[in-house]
A and B are shown apart, each in its own frame.
Chain A
Amino acid sequence: MIRGIVNILMGKQSLKEIGVKGLLFLSAIFALLVIFFIIFFLFKEGYPIFENVGFWNFLSGKSWNPTGEPPSYGAFPLIAGTLLVTLGAVIIAVPLGIGCAIFISEIAPHKVKAVIKPGVELLAGIPSVVYGFFGLVVLTNWLRITFDKPSGECWLAGSILLGIMALPTIISVSEDAISSVPREYKEGSLSMGATKWQTISNVIVPSALSGITAAIILGIGRAIGETMTVMMVTGNAAILPQPITDVFSPVRTITGTLGIEMGEVASGSTHYHGLFGLALILFAIVLITNVIATVVLGKLKEKHMPTSKKKKRKVISPVIMQRIKYNIYVIFVLIILWLLVMWLGIVIAVLTILITLCCYFIAKKISAKSSQRVAFGLVTLSTIIVLFMLGIILYYITANGIGALSWEFLSQSPRDSGRAGGIYPAIIGTLYLVGGAIFLALPIGIGAAIYLTEYTKEGKLIKIIRFGVENLNGTPSIVFGLFGFAFLVLYLNLGVSLLAGQITLAFMVLPTIIRTTEESLKSVPQFVREGSLALGATKWQTIRKVVLPPAMPGISTGTILSIGRAAGETAPIMFTAVVFSQRFLPTSLLEPVMALPFHLFVLTTSVPGSEQNAYGAALVLLILVICLYLLAIMIRDHYKKTMKW
């Protein structure tokens, strides 16, 4: 900063340059403050439970019963529930997601791509409550009947739904990463005689690996953080599945616990601190995931970009590395074997292994062209599966909801507990909430990301900031809701209000916006910036006219995903902004609102006989989000047309 002022005085840089840099710096600092304040608040409110109950007891206690006599605060079954459900979701979402992303960016013909890409992003718009409802009424029943279990509310139901919910994030961000790989790489590989599949698997995907890994982490974050869906379909029994691989056992996740118990805790009570303790544990899980991811990313960068700065590290002898890798592979295979035996029985497990071995040997023998056909077939299959799931859910909502749509429905207040009348105040309330949240988060997020990518060098400070952003990104929406409730509603005395809801939602989408903006800015090749600067443009001119426009598609994608989240989220607004019914629209920011996702949640879980209106509300929410998406897609396409590498 001081150097900046000196530069102005000496006439080296214009006031405008320094002004812009200062503004961006402020955004970055503000984002940082928010992030660290939330973390600090969690620690402050969560620490007493560890003092009270004992850190190890809290983590490993087998019984969570805060309202029992005597109350017990053992988080182990909840931690296990969260990990198991997320694991299942990742197993489902990652292969399907990456396959679909490859299909969209490399294999799909242009017209198909133009339809599928927005279609997949549509999946992100479906509110978590709708997934939960679909799960509650369709999926759990199907599971119960097909597998002949007493109840379909279980781990598997949660994982399937979470997997579907993580897919759009993984697909969109991966697809952006894959399409950002410079054409020269692709052209170079093809011109040397590689088949398309060989190019994809050996050149394109590895170059895009950084973006793909980011996509997977974002997807995992989405899965870990989901509250409403798991609350509705996992059964919420705080137990460890017996045996641990029983996917049909009910489980309870940490997020579910927070969602169920948050509203009832008295400020400062042991139960209150217990919930914050859970939030801290969740945060720690996200932290560990991110640390692992950062290490993996670091390894990838070293492997594929020999020009990156190499840190002087203690080098483990390659022989020992080989041995360690070999041992890890063996253990990995053994775990897979064990899982197969537990889930499918020994006969089928052996058969599966034989078939896999056969495939492996065949793959080695057949020609590149044939293996390309097989690979493309699998990739297309994964896309079809994803689209099929989208299709079922959309069909379900539309078929049941279309009957409820009418002008009355859209313009009147609800009557008879929501079974009759309309949802007008809920529509407007949702628009207010999302509008306010984006209005707050977009400028700060983009400003912070620009500052972090363009104005700073890779260093310790940047690493810490990025770390903070990553972790907040994975923080579940319910934790934001908890923070919003404890800090904004109670402590700052904003009460249950529109403003509290907007701020909470803004905090929630801020990390996503920062992350995706950063990724798109980084995908602009360095030579473009250098060329611009070499021609005499100032830094800000370079950013505004040369770097930002090609990054706009990525930024829009991030905005779309954030809008989708903000519009469909129930957990952050449940205790900070909403009421189930009110007659007039709010006239100030300090009044509560109705909101579509919350309205849907209450209708589907507490008001029997309201199915027709519930589907109608879901359909309206969907249409609302689609319109927002279409707008963002048009913006993105407009910018894509003007970008030429």
Chain B
Amino acid sequence: MIKMETKTKKMVLGTTMGIVVIVIVAAVLGGWFKGGDIQTITVTGSTTVLPIAQKASEAYMDEHENVDIRISGGGSSVGIQAVGEGTTDIGMASRDLKDVEKTNYPNLKGTVIARDGIAFIVHPSNSVKTLTLEKIRGIYNGTYTNWKDVGGGDEEIVVINRDSASGTREFFWEHVMHKEDFVSIALEKNSNGAVKQTIAQTPGAIGYVGLGHIDPSVNAIKIYENGEHIEPTAANVLNEKYPIARSLNFFTNDEPKGLAKEFIDFILSTDGQKIVEEEGFVPVE
């Protein structure tokens, strides 16, 4: 009896190991037999630009058999650092190069692939529908801590910020905060998606995301400027009414060439710009 048990156990062990080995071998072989020369590029960086790059790469790869476009996020600064250091082919960024980056990586060339606006979002239950840029700065530097200070109900403001790698944050900091320090109690999130998710769950929260990331789970705040309440929409960025607008860039080391150039050309083509529009962003002129 005991002998049989050990034997059965051994068989089971053997079979399981065998299956594991087969799976791994199959995976490796599957990788090998992808016939012909595979061209690959990696695209890394801004989480704002990520959805555009993803959709575009899928469309591009559908048309080209032996092409692999690998995409990663991490934030604009990650993208710029990676393309500068040579660990990626294209760095996506939702901002322009900082001076430090221009000195460290002098060969970077940028191509504008879309335009975008930064929208401020709050929970759907928030009664505040419009704010001035002054008030927004006041919230983010800690001057206002309660929604009633800015025309809403009596509720503590939960300030949602992005992490320091974010191009969106960098742009916001320069153009709205005028380089003032953020309030220290602001919660930091690592992507547009994370900001949106938090806002959708937290009644007292406010945050900022790229236009393409607005959806029905949050309310976008109108900006009150020059007597008008300006809604954050692609149309308003196109007609230059919306005050916080920026370019979305692809950076390469030197002029883009090879597959990187083809991919960038694809995004700038009519098909590619249609994808940009579908994702909620603003096509380049």
**Chain A residues within CB distance 8 Å of chain B:** 63, 65-69, 136-137, 140-141, 144, 150-151, 153, 231, 235-239, 250, 252, 260-261, 263-267, 269, 415-417, 428, 431-432, 435, 489-490, 495-496, 575, 578-587, 591-592, 602, 605-609, 631, 634-635, 638, 641
Answer whether A63 and B73 are a contact pair too, CB < 8 Å, given A69-B179, A236-B163, A585-B30: no
- Give the residues from 226 to 283 in chain B that come closer than 8 angstroms, CB to CB, to chain A: none
A266: chain B residues at CB < 8 Å are 81, 84-85, 100-101, 104-105
Across the interface, do A141 and B190 meet the contact criterion of CB distance under 8 Å?
no
Across the interface, do A417 and B85 meet the contact criterion of CB distance under 8 Å?
no
Interface residue range, chain B = 35 or more
Per the bound structure, the CA–CA distance linking A269 and B67 in Å amounts to 35
Most buried by A among B164, B191, B201: B164
Q: Does B77 contact A (CB under 8 A)?
A: yes
Across the interface, do A267 and B85 meet the contact criterion of CB distance under 8 Å?
yes
Q: Does B225 contact A (CB under 8 A)?
A: no
The digit string for B200-243, where 1 denotes a CB below 8 A from any CB of A, is: 01101100000001010100000000000000000000000000
Across the interface, do B75 and A264 meet the contact criterion of CB distance under 8 Å?
yes
Across the interface, do A585 and B31 meet the contact criterion of CB distance under 8 Å?
yes
A267: chain B residues at CB < 8 Å are 85
Q: How far is the CB of B43 from chain A (nearest CB, A)?
A: 9
Per the bound structure, the CA–CA distance linking A580 and B202 in Å amounts to 28
The digit string for B15-50, where 1 denotes a CB below 8 A from any CB of A, is: 011001001100110111010001010101001001
Query: From A427, which residue of chain B is reached at the shortest CB distance?
Result: B27
Query: From A586, which residue of chain B is reached at the shortest CB distance?
Result: B31
30 A-B contact pairs sorted by A residue (CB < 8 Å) = A68-B181, A136-B197, A141-B201, A150-B202, A231-B190, A237-B187, A237-B188, A239-B185, A250-B187, A260-B190, A263-B78, A263-B165, A264-B74, A264-B78, A264-B165, A266-B81, A266-B84, A266-B105, A495-B86, A496-B82, A581-B54, A581-B71, A582-B70, A584-B38, A587-B31, A606-B50, A608-B215, A631-B20, A634-B12, A634-B13
Query: From A417, which residue of chain B is reached at the shortest CB distance?
Result: B54
Across the interface, do B164 and A261 meet the contact criterion of CB distance under 8 Å?
yes
Per the bound structure, the CA–CA distance linking A265 and B62 in Å amounts to 35
- Give the residues from 153 to 187 in chain B that come closer than 8 angstroms, CB to CB, to chain A: 155-156, 158, 163-165, 170, 179, 181, 184-187
Answer whether A587 and B186 are a contact pair too, CB < 8 Å, given A65-B181, A263-B165, A266-B101: no
Per the bound structure, the CA–CA distance linking A495 and B158 in Å amounts to 39
Across the interface, do B24 and A435 meet the contact criterion of CB distance under 8 Å?
yes
B77 CB contact (under 8 Å) in A68, A144, A263, A431: A263
Per the bound structure, the CA–CA distance linking A521 and B134 in Å amounts to 67
Query: From B183, which residue of chain A is reached at the shortest CB distance?
Result: A237
A581: chain B residues at CB < 8 Å are 54, 57, 70-71
Q: Which 5 A-B pairs have the closest CB atoms?
A: A264-B77, A585-B31, A263-B78, A264-B165, A606-B191
Answer whether A495 and B87 are a contact pair too, CB < 8 Å, given A238-B184, A585-B31, A634-B13: yes
A634: chain B residues at CB < 8 Å are 9, 12-13
B82: chain A residues at CB < 8 Å are 263, 496
Answer whether A583 and B61 are a contact pair too, CB < 8 Å, given A235-B187, A239-B185, A263-B75: yes
Across the interface, do B165 and A431 meet the contact criterion of CB distance under 8 Å?
no
Q: How far is the CB of B111 from chain A (nearest CB, A)?
A: 21
Across the interface, do A237 and B184 meet the contact criterion of CB distance under 8 Å?
yes
A231: chain B residues at CB < 8 Å are 190
A137: chain B residues at CB < 8 Å are 197, 201
B193 CB contact (under 8 Å) in A435, A592, A606: A606
Query: From B34, which residue of chain A is reached at the shortest CB distance?
Result: A584
Query: From A252, which residue of chain B is reached at the shortest CB distance?
Result: B188
B105: chain A residues at CB < 8 Å are 266
Across the interface, do B13 and A415 meet the contact criterion of CB distance under 8 Å?
no
Q: How far is the CB of A471 from chain B (nearest CB, A)?
A: 29
Q: Does B51 contact A (CB under 8 A)?
A: yes
Per the bound structure, the CA–CA distance linking A41 and B101 in Å amounts to 25
Per the bound structure, the CA–CA distance linking A231 and B156 in Å amounts to 23
Across the interface, do A579 and B71 meet the contact criterion of CB distance under 8 Å?
yes
Known: A261-B163, A605-B191. 10 other contacts (CB 8 A): A137-B201, A150-B158, A151-B187, A265-B81, A266-B105, A269-B100, A585-B27, A592-B42, A608-B193, A635-B13
Q: Does B72 contact A (CB under 8 A)?
A: yes
Q: How far is the CB of B256 from chain A (nearest CB, A)?
A: 19
B16: chain A residues at CB < 8 Å are 631
Q: How far is the CB of A407 from chain B (nearest CB, A)?
A: 15
B38: chain A residues at CB < 8 Å are 584, 587
Query: From A149, which residue of chain B is reached at the shortest CB distance?
Result: B156
Q: How far is the CB of A486 from chain B (nearest CB, A)?
A: 11
Query: From B184, which residue of chain A is reached at the shortest CB distance?
Result: A239
Most buried by A among B34, B38, B57, B187: B187
Query: From A77, which residue of chain B is reached at the shortest CB distance?
Result: B184
Q: How far is the CB of A230 from chain B (nearest CB, A)?
A: 12
Query: From B156, which residue of chain A is reached at the shortest CB distance?
Result: A150
- Give the residues from 72 to 97 in chain B that come closer than 8 angstroms, CB to CB, to chain A: 72-75, 77-78, 81-82, 84-88
Answer whether A584 and B31 are a contact pair too, CB < 8 Å, given A235-B187, A236-B163, A605-B193: yes
B104: chain A residues at CB < 8 Å are 266, 269
Per the bound structure, the CA–CA distance linking A252 and B191 in Å amounts to 17
Across the interface, do B47 and A606 meet the contact criterion of CB distance under 8 Å?
yes
Q: How far is the CB of B213 from chain A (nearest CB, A)?
A: 8
Most buried by A among B24, B181, B190, B194: B190
Across the interface, do B13 and A638 meet the contact criterion of CB distance under 8 Å?
yes
Across the interface, do B9 and A638 meet the contact criterion of CB distance under 8 Å?
yes
Across the interface, do B73 and A580 meet the contact criterion of CB distance under 8 Å?
yes
Per the bound structure, the CA–CA distance linking A63 and B85 in Å amounts to 29
Q: How far is the CB of B196 from chain A (nearest CB, A)?
A: 6
Q: How far is the CB of A436 from chain B (nearest CB, A)?
A: 11
B101: chain A residues at CB < 8 Å are 266
Across the interface, do A428 and B193 meet the contact criterion of CB distance under 8 Å?
no
Most buried by A among B61, B67, B84, B191: B191
B74: chain A residues at CB < 8 Å are 263-264, 575
Across the interface, do B50 and A417 meet the contact criterion of CB distance under 8 Å?
yes
Per the bound structure, the CA–CA distance linking A435 and B42 in Å amounts to 25
Most buried by B among A66, A269, A605: A605
Across the interface, do B87 and A496 meet the contact criterion of CB distance under 8 Å?
yes
A66: chain B residues at CB < 8 Å are 164
Q: How far is the CB of A496 from chain B (nearest CB, A)?
A: 5
Answer whether A584 and B81 are a contact pair too, CB < 8 Å, given A236-B188, A239-B185, A417-B55: no
Q: How far is the CB of A126 from chain B (nearest CB, A)?
A: 21
Across the interface, do B156 and A579 meet the contact criterion of CB distance under 8 Å?
no
Most buried by A among B27, B61, B170, B198: B27
Across the interface, do A583 and B184 meet the contact criterion of CB distance under 8 Å?
no
Answer whether A592 and B155 are a contact pair too, CB < 8 Å, given A65-B181, A634-B9: no
